[in-house]
Chains A and B, each alone.
Chain A
Amino acid sequence: MVQSAKPVPPIWCPGCGDFGVLAAVKKAALEQKVAPHDLVLVGGIGCSGSIHNFLEVNGIHALHGRLLAQAIGVKLANPALTVIAAGGDGDGYAIGMGHFLHAFKKNASIVYLVMNNETYGLTKGQPSPTSQVGFEGNIEQPFDAILTALSIPAPNFIARTFSGDPKTMTAVLSEAIRFTREGHGFAFIEDLSPCVTYNDTYKLWREKVQDLSKLPGYDPTDRATMFRLCLEAQAAGRIPIGVMHRPAQPGRDGLETKVVGSGPGPARAEMDLTANAAAYQKLLAALG
């Protein structure tokens, strides 16, 4: 057995919601039988984005907000890899917003896990895109990633979970990993993961979360229904959680299967000059 990088102890504060996510990632990867060398964790910038350091997997620490572009690059280069991009709400919804929206358009088969704590924890508690009005002087409206995700049509997987319910979180993440490993497209999970130091919302969120799957009429194959259920829950002062979208008929992802086809992907494509000589001669001959 070759010795590879060993996990280091998490940098998180005791009680941080991200510990729940870390445990869920381990369990879900085991459940889905992903070998450590085939799992790539792409981390964003912020407390949550350091998660890849705490597991025995391939980890790449992306730039602030750019983790989705890097994760999609990894997946396109080698579709055999299982790719999970993991970061926070500031990373994904502020500096990374452009890539976030385009990830739904691209519908590549990667998991995107956002640990939403409604604050910039690592820089000590500034308001983030999801902060409530009034938090640390915030006067901007909070961004709702689930409603936004539901508005972009694609046969994807969308869910919101709560770190206070690790069992459900693990089940949802496991489904998301399977969804992407089977090449059905993008899987987006927003996990409500409280920052115990700068925005301790455990108690509040435990009271407010509402599992939409328990409601009559719950149908995650129907965007309009889920959009309405989310708005109704919010109007009642609740935070909707649960699987928000799951296609009735799982499709094929929007990128890998279309652009890589059945080949091994660019990372494993044949680049030997002799093996490609005929193809290259044809290209050069066309120059006339």
Chain B
Amino acid sequence: MTTPATQTGVHPESTVPTAGRRAAPLADVSVMIGGQGGDGTLTVSDLLGRYFRKRGLYVYTSRNVLSRIRGGHADASVRASREPIAAVKSTVDVLLAFDQEAVAIGAHELAPHGYILYDSTTFKSELPNATGFPFATLVGSQLGQPIFKNTAAYGALSVIFGFDPTETRGVIEERFKRRGGEALEKNLKALEIGRRAALEADGLADRFSVADGNAHDQIMTTGNQAVALGFVVGGGRFFAGYPITPATEVMEYLQRYLPPVGGVVRQAEDELAAVNMILGAAYAGARVMTSTSGPGLSLMTEGIGQAGAAEIPIVVADCARVGPSTGQPTRHEQSDLSHLANLGHGEYPRFILAPGTPVDCFEMTAEALNLAERWRLPVFLLLDQALCQNTVTSPRFDLAAVKIDRGERLAPADVQRLEQYKAYAFTDSGRSPYAPPGTPGVWAEITGNEHDEWGHVSVNPANRERMMQKRMEKMVRAREELPAGRCFGPASARIGLIGFGSTYGPIREAQALLAERGTATRFYQARTLFPVPTHELDPFLRSVDVAFVIEHNYTGQFARLLRETMPDLHGKLKSVRKYDGANFRAPQLVAEIAGGA
């Protein structure tokens, strides 16, 4: 195994401005905003994102916050590009710092040509490429409240980038129009205070410029929002959850989305109740989901086992964070895969799907509901913090991409044609037709005890064997129905890359950087992780000399799963791992791949 990558000095961007004024436009720009929680860093990030989108750019924003309401270092970054992006940029072009700590942290990320704007109210930086303005003092003395300092800082940023003044102002109006009145008025004044200060400073105006793009038909969303929308459109009508970072937004979006279409969302007393509420609702015939993260998943384990044994269709979205235990609630990791693949005592079938983009999140959540109901088992959506929470421009979600397939669901009229209704009937397809309670004239026993076709508790050895086979064979029978992986890069490439989830972004970018150096790679984005899609991976691995399995965990969980499943291709796999809580950046991957191939 290779050792985990460390940050390298490789600089991927091809359009680096030369020092001095009137630099060539950046085609790919990154702004980092740092301060204390409560300084308004996320607002500045949001305002910049809105501006860049108006200029037709692709946008990706990420945040680095602590698990506390206020205080502590917090930073956000906004990246905008003329090309589609799905990752943070490796270096920062402009750093906006509200305190000294933010300068210290952000300066490490700064590109050689980078520049620092900071709030000089409480300190002064000696760095040569930095200009300070006392934003808090300026705004406090003129508006009575220093809290609008972040908007003033946005004003200064608009000057350093040479933003169009009308559109800069329009973004503020758009953002604060709902609050209106004084909030809007003071933010507009703060914007002018910041702009004026920056315009009066020597050599700051138009230091950078950002080229306009053509990405006008995009939406801005997160994986969590896309999962919530996919659930609604896929016919999901019952959701129960318990607040946990970074999964909570799924529940919050659904609290808005579900009631208008006759759905119900409940915040349960704990994750045990949440998973059991969806089990009850699924049993009663609703399409259901819960979302959680590692610690909640541990608690849901017993309920998910019942779904497997009693054949109750549920979808569980695992918005993974750093584990084990409480881990790092706000940080990024992909270390739940082994847990999901082996979750629970005993043996039962499950599918693990791994969306990599918001469109994947939308379409695969809807598909997860189909798969759960067709095969009557738990389906996991394995996401990660970056995919869940970072905002990104995305193609619009396509309703036509969603189909609803309820499997062998029995309508009241279907039931009347039956002689017998057995909820666990053995059939040629391996799927038992199901009539939910309330279907006139029939009833059944549903249980996680081993049972016969009627649902009666059974210890008959022959029945036990047959029921085990019926359940476990779902993972074989359903294989071709599970979401297919995607390949990127020339089929002739001898270097393979394998990843899932949000590593999609940095891997695609690394591929482009490697291609510039003349190194061809082919990337297999796994979208079904379990059962391992060997029918796709086997030919993929045979087509390359080496395959780097890129993932965010210590032990190389996906690589281990592949080695276990395809032992004869063992020698081709190289594990690239990162577990420091932050995402891969393309240059790191380039270094790993170039060094390891």
Contacts and interface: CB of A to CB of B under 8 A. Distances in A.
Interface of A: 1-6, 8, 35-38, 40, 42, 50, 52-53, 56-63, 66, 69-78, 80-81, 98-99, 102, 255, 259-260, 263-273, 276-277, 279-281, 283-284, 287-288
Given A78-B285, A269-B261, A288-B220, A59 B404 contact: no
B436 A267 contact: yes
Given A63-B302, A280-B232, A5 B438 contact: no
A131 to B, nearest CB: 24
Contact of B446 (A59, A255, A283): A59
Given A2-B415, A3-B421, A73-B238, A63 B276 contact: yes
A273 B403 CA distance: 8
A259 B266 contact: yes
Contact of B280 (A77, A255, A272): A77
Given A53-B456, A63-B306, A273-B402, A266 B237 contact: yes
B443 A287 contact: no
Given A70-B280, A74-B284, A81-B438, A270 B261 contact: yes
A74 B272 contact: no
Contacts of A75: 280
A144 to B, nearest CB: 21
Interface stretch (B162-170, B447-455, B512-520, B528-536): B447-455
A58 B277 CA distance: 17
A66 to B, nearest CB: 4
Nearest to A270: B262
Given A5-B445, A35-B440, A38-B437, 9 more contacts: A5-B423, A37-B440, A58-B437, A59-B446, A60-B445, A70-B283, A76-B238, A78-B437, A284-B396
B283 A60 contact: yes
B443 A69 contact: no
Contacts of A42: 280
B233 interface: yes
A104 to B, nearest CB: 11
Contact of A74 (B233, B281, B422): B281
Of all A-B residue pairs in the complex, the 3 with the closest CB atoms, nearest first, are A73-B280, A271-B235, A269-B262
Given A38-B438, A59-B446, A269-B262, A66 B303 contact: yes
Contacts of B233: 273, 276, 280, 283
Given A81-B437, A99-B273, A284 B281 contact: no
A122 B241 CA distance: 32
Contacts of A52: 445
B457 A74 contact: no
Contacts of A99: 269, 272-273, 276
A269 B284 CA distance: 12
Contacts of B260: 279
B261 A73 contact: no
A50 B418 CA distance: 27
A287 to B, nearest CB: 4
B460 interface: no
Contacts of B232: 280, 283
A69 B277 contact: yes
A69 B273 contact: yes
Contacts of B287: 266, 271
Nearest to B280: A73
B270 A98 contact: yes
19 contacts: A3-B421, A4-B443, A42-B280, A61-B449, A63-B306, A73-B280, A77-B282, A77-B285, A98-B270, A99-B272, A259-B266, A264-B262, A271-B287, A271-B404, A280-B399, A283-B257, A287-B221, A287-B225, A287-B396
Contacts of A268: 285
Nearest to B452: A5
A5 B422 CA distance: 7
A80 B438 contact: yes
A132 to B, nearest CB: 29
Contacts of B445: 5, 52-53, 59-61
B263 interface: yes
B419 interface: yes
A138 to B, nearest CB: 26
